[in-house]
Amino acid sequence: MTEDGRPPPTAPATSPIWGGRFEAGPAALMAEINASIDFDRRLYAQDIAASKAHCCMLVTQGILTEADGQAILGGLDAILAEITQGRFTFRRSLEDIHMNVEGRLAELIGEAAGRLHTARSRNDQVATDLRLWVRDAIDDLDGALKGLQGALIDQAERYADAVMPGFTHLQTAQPVTLGHHLLAYVEMLGRDRGRLRDARARLNECPLGAAALAGTAFPIDRRMTAAALGFAAPMANSLDAVSDRDFALEFLAAGAILATHLSRLGEEIVIWSSDPFGFIRLSDSFATGSSIMPQKRNPDAAELVRAKAGRVIGALTGLLVVLKGLPLAYAKDMQEDKEPVFDAADTLSVSVRAMAGMIEGASFDRARMQAAAGRGFATATDLADWLVRTQGMAFRRAHHVVGALVREAERRGCGIEDLPDEVLTAVDPALGDPMRPALSVEASVASRVSEGGTAPANVRAAVAAARQRFLD
């Protein structure tokens, strides 16, 4: 009772997280914008792993008692089991995954749960959790990319000698082999894997122990927690440790390049599967029909992979904009880092796996590809090369001669090989029957034996090398 006999005022409802500093709790709308548990619950495994490493270190350093440490570890294991079994209740009032875990831990083991947060902050906690999550996502994505490379390599071997048109400006340029074309994507994906590995190596430093921003006065062992979590070392600067999101940006940047590569392959599948081309037939598992046109067979999976590149590029752009104006160290803006990272990782994972499924089940029409390779004067460069090799003609002169032949063939509506001898020799006396073999698409691809060229023998050797480089 107060001195005037009235009962004491009822304590206002404040946040269960920051307790006594505030006299009133947050507005409902503030709670709505502030809570992140709806998406950061995905960090639960990483959060519990980091908490266990932190707990073990605190016990080793004599900051926690053995009894408290054992209680905390047992409680964390119980929480992990509840979450994985779908029995855990996530509460928005506790804002995020960190406080949801800590809140449940307090229910399970009592006061000892509150000692777990000694010598750390949610700032270094979330930075650690997200690094662990991105590291796991990179490892998963690398495995999926290896599978896609394997599918491409298998098809490249199967179609090492299948002739198709090579394009520049989407105009017929020179004949190539399908195997050579597919191996180009194997190389692109290999660079993607390399970028992701580089990003993984750079992110593999541990923020835990930086606390809010300045480090801690407790005698912690940051190297112990870093090693326990598989990090190469602790981060060297506590301000950098809690404010850095380079690792998320680098993951998204590598992912955006990867998504662009997948989109380019998706675009080619869409083109190749169209009726005017008819180069590829996707399996029923990765094609769809039409609700009104019974004849339709649509490459929807390829189209969706192509479209989803926009999501990943958008995720990178969005996070760059969030971070560009932030002073050190932590700001609540950084809560916006997780959703783009999660969405991009999900998008990349499904896109890579869908592309692997399309490639594995695809069949290619050798006859249609070869016929298309012979159109559009695709072997004109081979004829110019033949004039240089056999007649000693300067290439610029040979280019001019063949250009005149193309013009005449276009006027007559035929191929160069169909021009009569008198037309050929009128352009240049060196032309005639001896040059006709140089105009076949088979001879064209077989002649491209320079390192990295499209000759079938090269492709078979490149397949073997790619298996060793990327799949072993």
Residue positions annotated with a catalytic role: 169, 290
State the Cα angle at 121 between 72 and 24, rounded to 5°: 100
3-state SS track over the chain: CCCCCCCCCCCCCCCCCCHHHCCCCCCHHHHHHHCCHHHHHHHHHHHHHHHHHHHHHHHHCCCCCHHHHHHHHHHHHHHHHHHHCCCCCCCHHHCCHHHHHHHHHHHHHHHHHHHHHCCCCHHHHHHHHHHHHHHHHHHHHHHHHHHHHHHHHHHHHHCCCCEEEEEECCEEEEEEEHHHHHHHHHHHHHHHHHHHHHHHHHHCEECCCCCCCCCCCCCCCHHHHHHHCCCCEECCCHHHHHHCCHHHHHHHHHHHHHHHHHHHHHHHHHHHHCCCCCCEECCHHHCECCCCCCCCCECHHHHHHHHHHHHHHHHHHHHHHHHCCCCCCCCHHHHHHHHHHHHHHHHHHHHHHHHHHHHHHCEECHHHHHHHHCCCCCCHHHHHHHHHHHHCCCHHHHHHHHHHHHHHHHHHCCCHHHCCHHHHHHHCCCCCHHHHHHHCHHHHHHHCCCCCCCCHHHHHHHHHHHHHHHHC
Is 415 in contact with 371 (CB distance < 8 Å)?
Answer: no
